[in-house]
Amino acid sequence: MELSRVVLGNRLRKTLLDVTNKIFSVQVAKYIRLAEVGKLETPKLQGKYETGQLILHRVFGYRGVVLFPWLARVYDRDLPNRREGTEDGNFNGVGKEVKGRTHTFYQVLIDQRDCPYIRAQTEAVTFLGNHESSRSLYAIPGLDYVAHEDILPYTTNEKPALQHELFDKFLSYHSDRDPPFAAQETLRAWQKKNHPWLELSDVHKETTENIRVTVIPFYMGCRESQTTSVYWWRYCIRLENLGDLSVQLRERHWRIFSLSGTLETVRGRGVVGQEPVLSKTLPAFQYSSHVSLQAPSGHMWGTFRMEREDGYAFDCRIPPFSLESKADEPTTPNANT
């Protein structure tokens, strides 16, 4: 089937992806024209997508390309996998045993033409500069982690197939391959060099009142001075409304426990300066943030205060997740290969 893209004159209002009927459509309040970008392929139920596969994100609708896969442990608190007798209330449920199930995620490049219209931060991959202070963070734009079930594969004859400054550095075109884009040595070297801070290992999920929260934590490294050591993590959070009524995020409430024995409480309006609305047509929002501890490990958990369109307010649980450090690499992460 032909796949169409909206060239926007104003903000993207509504995105609808009907995977069951293999229909991709974009609806906007005001638009200039529709332009064909390619043909949708059948999503894979088994196996993995290869490096160079062009994709559409099932939820956020952006175009991207697969760089390489990650095998992660997914801890889903909605599944009936808790042991009896583990409801102990410590750390708001951190003590509950939830069995992790392995699942494939992908590192992808996002088409820069789509970045302004995505309800997700497109600078989710960050790292520490080796020669800077512990507060210096750097970001690589247009990188994301995508679960296997959120990928819609497609092909295109567009030139270029994808717009991102790293696309031609990482991938080369081969007309006899499927997909036709293959990894260059620069991509393999970049993956190997930056593996410690790119690695996705654990994913945590929990649903409250039809609002699913997914958290992916990443260890970023340690900064040492003569008196202290500061350990840094970033965490990516996706909120998705699985119900019919619109819900708005009003407040956040975090509890941060450090192995050093400290317990910090953080409250505030919204997230990253926004109070996003999760509706039937725009159900998801994704953002990233950072946390530092003066200990090599700890835990985080909390709630989002949500307000439904009918006036009902409730606390949406953020699944507890561990902050675990790893052995630091001596090399400096390299954003530009």
8 A C-beta contact, residue 37 and residue 156: yes
148 assigned to some structural domain: yes
CA 133-198-152 angle, 5° bins: 140
Average confidence score pLDDT of the chain: 82
272 assigned to some structural domain: yes
Query: For residue 135, is pLDDT > 60?
Result: no
Confidence at residue 326, expressed as pLDDT on a 0 to 100 scale: 81
5 assigned to some structural domain: no
Give the CA radius of gyration of the chain.
21
Q: Supply 259's token pair.
A: 């192995």
Query: For residue 93, is pLDDT > 70?
Result: no
109 assigned to some structural domain: yes
Q: Supply 252's token pair.
A: 């956040």
Please state the domain count of the chain.
2
Query: For residue 74, is pLDDT > 80?
Result: yes
Rounded Cα–Cα distance for residues 267 and 105 (Å):
31
Q: Please tell me whether residues 125 and 226 are part of one structural domain.
A: no
Q: Supply 215's token pair.
A: 């958290």
Selected residue with higher pLDDT from 194 and 181: 181
Grade residue 218 by pLDDT with cuts at 50, 70 and 90: very high
pLDDT digits (tens, 9 = 90+) for 291-308: 999 999 999 999 999 999
Grade residue 35 by pLDDT with cuts at 50, 70 and 90: low
Q: Please tell me whether residues 170 and 244 are part of one structural domain.
A: no
Dihedral angle computed from the Cα positions of residues 60, 18, 240 and 35, in that order, rounded to the nearest 10 degrees = 20
Give the structural domain span for 247. Answer: 205-328
Q: Please tell me whether residues 181 and 217 are part of one structural domain.
A: no
91 assigned to some structural domain: no
Selected residue with higher pLDDT from 135 and 100: 100
Question: What is the helix (H) or strand (E) element at residue 320, kind and residue range?
Answer: strand 313-324
The mean per-residue pLDDT over the stretch 122-140 comes to: 61
Rounded Cα–Cα distance for residues 248 and 305 (Å):
9
Q: Which residue, 146, 171, 200, sits at the end of a domain?
A: 200
**Secondary structure in 3-state letters for 251-312:** EEEEEEEECCCCEEEEEEECECCECCEECCCCCEEEEEEEEEECCCEEEEEEEEEEEECCCC
Q: Please tell me whether residues 144 and 129 are part of one structural domain.
A: yes
Confidence at residue 51, expressed as pLDDT on a 0 to 100 scale: 97
pLDDT digits (tens, 9 = 90+) for 22-32: 333 333 333 44
Q: Which residue, 200, 220, 237, sits at the end of a domain?
A: 200
8 A C-beta contact, residue 153 and residue 43: yes
Q: Please tell me whether residues 321 and 220 are part of one structural domain.
A: yes
Q: Please tell me whether residues 190 and 227 are part of one structural domain.
A: no
Rounded Cα–Cα distance for residues 103 and 270 (Å):
30
pLDDT digits (tens, 9 = 90+) for 166-177: 999 999 999 999
What is the CATH classification number for the domain harbouring 295? 2.60.40.1470
Q: Please tell me whether residues 251 and 165 are part of one structural domain.
A: no
Query: Which amino acid, residue 34?
Result: L
Query: Which amino acid, residue 22?
Result: K
Q: Which residue, 141, 166, 200, sits at the end of a domain?
A: 200
Q: Please tell me whether residues 192 and 211 are part of one structural domain.
A: no
Closest listed residue to residue 12, CA positions, set 117, 114, 113, 115:
117
What is the CATH classification number for the domain harbouring 180? 2.30.30.390
Rounded Cα–Cα distance for residues 280 and 298 (Å):
36
Query: For residue 89, is pLDDT > 80?
Result: no
Q: Please tell me whether residues 185 and 277 are part of one structural domain.
A: no
